[in-house]
A and B are shown apart, each in its own frame.
Chain A
């Protein structure tokens, strides 16, 4: 396609969404070149449709001229899912923010994809309901982005992740047609295309409407903070709690480096000997909150907890959570950049793997902070660094790779909730064979995407021909004959 043809496309896109919602001046594009991960790349243009119909039309127009589309919600993703690849047009859902319907009696809501996660829970709070999946980024991330990544969050331990709470979605396919996968009911005959779309990282289509389940607010919530003098004691407590058959609503851990980062901003005043902090929440019936919290407290004491606080008061609870919720932002107190490695290990291996992560940090002379969803074994070692130091980013990524190998060797997973995207595509062969990946790559043709959504992500790029592997191994440009 010639430059002219691209300009014709821009012209037609402007026709659909209006002049100001098509961005293509390089200086204006810069804000769209990155997400929460370390990769960056400029899109060729950005379109911000105002209705789902406009969105579908934009998809169709791009598809017609062979330009691939990169969906973008709020850009908080941590695996490069929303980072444009060469020659692509980004379609952003930030204007699609209406909560279309709330059916309180059936506890169902239908929302547009740009709705901010926390806004949904706030909107239904007066009905005594909430939307369970609560990524730590919930004040910024979109529900469309949550669907694409199958996002989790602290409270997903007991109640499940996005796929357990989304019953269906309307999707714009490559040719601009829209189809519902699943619906408001919990299941529909045929293949579970809903389940397949969730976690497909924006490679199969763009969710334009999302039907979610809401849950009744619990009668009682108790938050506990247990401070330990060693990481070992804290990890062992986590393993003991799970092995003891108590599954709290949330079970989060912060290590010493994280404590140092949050102290100046949130002043949690943990005791001086604190090496690890557990933030634990139990909710539900008053009686079960009492039972569970007593059992948890006992296990923490058995493991030599240094200080222990518990509160049922919503204000105090918010304070107890503040340091955890703000931890990632607070890393700026220590270093300008962080690289968050999302991996999972069996919960019986926490102690062992965390110790090895620390060894990698020591060997490579890198500062590693751990703040993570301990209850489901979902590690988030955050490597803190300064990208201005030449070669530092490469060293950090190398350490990240070693940590992922640790997780996989321990019987774990490459990602618990942030997805593969650009960040981890090279590591997929650690877990999956070529046959496994070929099988996954069949979803694209099944959805007739023509490689038109988020090309060259999730699967490894670089070696082997496409014919051999079944998935694209080259970073595909949206156009091959750009003038």
Chain B
């Protein structure tokens, strides 16, 4: 049976603590926990690896923390089918290790894979650089099992790579922050690990120069498996490692392109990239070996050890993503070091500000939100100074579709048991 303990620490969300923590070991146990909480009118916050708990508005209520890491493991894996079924509490690194033994991988590499769980990463719609040109994790999940607010265990989708049977609730739950159900099992399509992978880095003076080159790569007939443009502090760190300390202007912008496939195809892509960087007069470029490549890609994500005080995520048309990023640079003068990564393929811009006076950060955030709106898009503040969080909706303004979203919540969780107040529009 799930063990419950009184007043545990370590499960704080925005300064609030639960009155108890539940640790179910199966979907059935979770079902009982949730059904009980639901009938008692308690509010539940599901916990995976805890790497993205800063996401969301301040909870409206918080009674029960549910630690989902006990619902873990590979349920079914058929390498020859390129599909895997995995429990929601499984750590991403653990899944990748199992797939790796068969020469396969899930094309999903968000930060902190050793801690982050599959369920939590899906619920919070985490992103990583890989396959940012093709699609996010939404496009890899083919089936889902969730525990709903009344304790019902339901599934949607299937276990085969292609299925349209009934409505696509898989996509409904991905990115829903667990407000409609708690993800307990996921079926994914996986891919073979490519024979060869190389990263080419090019650095430029200013965003405009980099933009042109990056857009040219985006429009090539072949697509790197990851294409990121690093701005501000992120770029500087990479340039200084590659070109030596003291090098690199504060205006430096880095393009990282990772290509993969068979050896001859990779060689060709590396050649194309280096000659493009040469012709476009990058300040410098380099083909990165294993460790350097890893370090550079790690530098494209926020550092897990020293999480930023403010971070904003926005997804725009690729050209708008560059324009928005340059607005962010302008808006960041007051708070110093600022870094951003543009995933060119998806148009997602991840920007963060390491620290500073909360009031100044809030002003910067407001400027970022305004900048995003110029491009008819909303910035989501994945991190925000907690003392000021209750003053804003960190998800921005979802527009008229919010009516449908509210009714959706009402349908799935009428007593508002799951994560009340944390999602868009304080759903």
Contact = CB atoms under 8 A, between A and B. Distances in A.
A105 B377 contact: no
A187 B398 CA distance: 12
A376 B317 contact: no
B278 interface: no
Given A188-B378, A285-B268, A346 B81 contact: yes
A428 B167 CA distance: 11
A436 B402 contact: no
Contacts of A186: 135-136, 315, 346-348
Contact of B265 (A246, A291, A412): A291
A436 B155 contact: yes
B219 A105 contact: yes
B168 interface: yes
B315 A436 contact: no
B349 to A, nearest CB: 11
A446 B408 contact: yes
Given A247-B191, A415-B164, A285 B269 contact: yes
A287 B139 contact: no
Contact of B164 (A199, A284, A438): A199
A296 to B, nearest CB: 13
Interface stretch (A62-70, A111-119, A213-221): A213-221
A447 B80 CA distance: 40
Contacts, number: 264
Interface stretch (B34-42, B108-116, B146-154): B146-154
Given A199-B167, A247-B191, A442-B408, A348 B262 contact: no
B298 interface: no
Contact of A156 (B162, B163, B171): B162
Given A243-B79, A439-B152, A447-B404, A416 B138 contact: no
B222 to A, nearest CB: 5
A45 B80 CA distance: 51
Interface stretch (A18-26, A176-184, A355-363): A176-184
Given A192-B172, A446-B411, A440 B80 contact: no
B162 A436 contact: no
Interface in A406-443: 411-420, 424, 428, 431-433, 435-440, 442-443
B380 A189 contact: yes
Interface string B81-92: 111000000000
In the complex, which range does the number of interface residues on chain A fall in?
A: 35 or more
Interface stretch (A32-40, A158-166, A273-281): A158-166
Contact of A285 (B103, B191, B222, B378): B222
B90 to A, nearest CB: 21
B167 A196 contact: yes
Contacts of A436: 154-156, 166
Nearest to B165: A414
Given A185-B347, A189-B398, A190-B401, A437 B172 contact: no
A161 B164 CA distance: 10
B401 to A, nearest CB: 5
B115 to A, nearest CB: 24
A140 B23 CA distance: 54
Contacts of B104: 245
A282 to B, nearest CB: 11
A290 B261 CA distance: 12
Nearest to B179: A191
A216 to B, nearest CB: 5
Contacts of A414: 163, 165
A195 B171 contact: yes
A189 B262 CA distance: 37
B159 A411 contact: yes
B221 A217 contact: yes
Contacts of B334: none
B80 A243 contact: yes
B407 A377 contact: no
Which of A150, A287, A292 has the largest count of B CB atoms less than 10 A from its CB? A287
A288 B169 contact: no
Interface of A: 103, 105-108, 128, 149-150, 152, 156, 160-161, 163-164, 177, 179-181, 183-196, 198-200, 216-219, 239, 242-243, 245-247, 284-288, 290-292, 344-348, 373, 376-378, 411-420, 424, 428, 431-433, 435-440, 442-443, 445-448, 458
Which 6 interchain pairs have the tightest Cβ spacing? A195-B171, A245-B192, A413-B163, A243-B80, A442-B411, A287-B265
22 contacts: A105-B219, A105-B319, A180-B399, A185-B317, A185-B377, A187-B346, A188-B315, A191-B405, A192-B138, A195-B138, A195-B172, A242-B81, A245-B104, A285-B261, A346-B78, A377-B81, A412-B160, A413-B163, A435-B154, A436-B156, A439-B156, A443-B408
Interface of B: 78-83, 103-104, 125, 134-136, 138-139, 148, 152-156, 158-172, 174-176, 180, 191-192, 215, 218-223, 261-262, 264-265, 267-269, 315-320, 346-348, 376-378, 380, 395-396, 398-405, 407-408, 410-412, 423-425
Given A179-B400, A447-B404, 9 more contacts: A106-B317, A108-B317, A190-B402, A288-B262, A416-B164, A420-B164, A439-B169, A446-B404, A448-B404
